[in-house]
Amino acid sequence: MAPTLWLLIAARAAQGLGAASMMALSMAFVAETVPQPRIGRAMGLLGTMSAVGTALGPSLGGVLIAGFGWRAIFFVTAPLGLLTFVLARRYLPADVPTRKLGRRGFDYVGTLLLALTLGAYLLAVTLKHGVFGTLSLALLLAAAVGLGLFVLAERRATSPLIRLTNFRNPVLSAGLAMSALVSTVMMTTLVLGPFHLSRALGIQPALIGLVMSAGPVVAALTGVPAGRMVDRLGPIGWSLSG
């Protein structure tokens, strides 16, 4: 429904904000609503459903684009969003109002610096069709400076967006580093994969969706069993057995 490209980009940015909130809050909902002995199983189910959505996205998107045009991939999310809203209102427990003492507010400076840093980095690796040039170098330098300012701001913030002291835990730091690597590979594949398959290999949109669904299907099949193993062996025991 967007009449111009810039309005479409702005709407996609708003969608991205909502999606980021949903991805972060879903883990918190599980931690608060699921008993401790079953958290691993619930997290595995959450991962399975996320993988199912990732698998359906490219495959269903390819079918919709081939049959109804690219606008169909946006229209189909509207009823899904309404259904999610109704289910959340119906089944998620309501917050109990409590008096919070010592509330320190939100880290606006850290959030702004993080957004600008990530934005500069993303533009550096996507502009000029992947050709590294002066603009890319300038954006990478800006991202590096922004990262340094973000760390400095988090050290001074009374309520930091990221508590840097948590990185002193070697187990947590290793887990976060591995998660960052996995997320980088996954998102790079999802974002750049369709363009490579269509432009370099000449594959049709419907088939591209099926190719892109191979990895998420494997993740969907292994999510729940992995969660059960975590409940039985614990996260460290599961990592050693893997």
| Nearest 10 degrees: Cα torsion 77, 126, 167, 170 | 100
pLDDT tens digit sequence for 184-202: 787 777 777 888 888 888 8
Distance CA 83, CA 90 (A): 11
Which SS3 state, helix, strand or coil, does residue 57 take?
helix
Distance CA 154, CA 164 (A): 7
CB-CB contact of 62 with 208 (8 Å):
yes
Helices 108-126, 134-156: axis angle to 10 degrees equals 160
Which SS3 state, helix, strand or coil, does residue 213 take?
coil
Query: What are the structure tokens assigned to 41, written together?
Result: 């199983």
The pTM score is 0.58
Closest CA to 217 of 55, 45, 47, 50: 55
pLDDT of residue 96: 64
Measuring CA to CA, how many Å separate 68 from each of 63, 74, 78, 101?
8, 11, 16, 54
Buried b (16+ CB within 10 A) or exposed e, 156-188: ebeebbeeeeeeeeeeeeeeeeeeeeeeeeeee
* List of residues 6+ apart from 215 with CB closer than 8 A: 186, 189
- The tens place of each residue's pLDDT in the chain, 242 residues long, gives 888 989 988 988 888 888 888 877 877 777 777 777 777 777 777 778 877 777 777 778 778 888 888 888 888 888 988 998 898 888 877 766 655 555 567 788 888 998 899 888 888 877 765 566 788 889 889 999 999 999 998 888 888 888 888 788 887 788 778 878 877 787 777 777 888 888 888 887 768 777 877 777 777 777 667 766 766 766 555 454 44
Distance CA 198, CA 240 (A): 40
Distance CA 26, CA 14 (A): 18
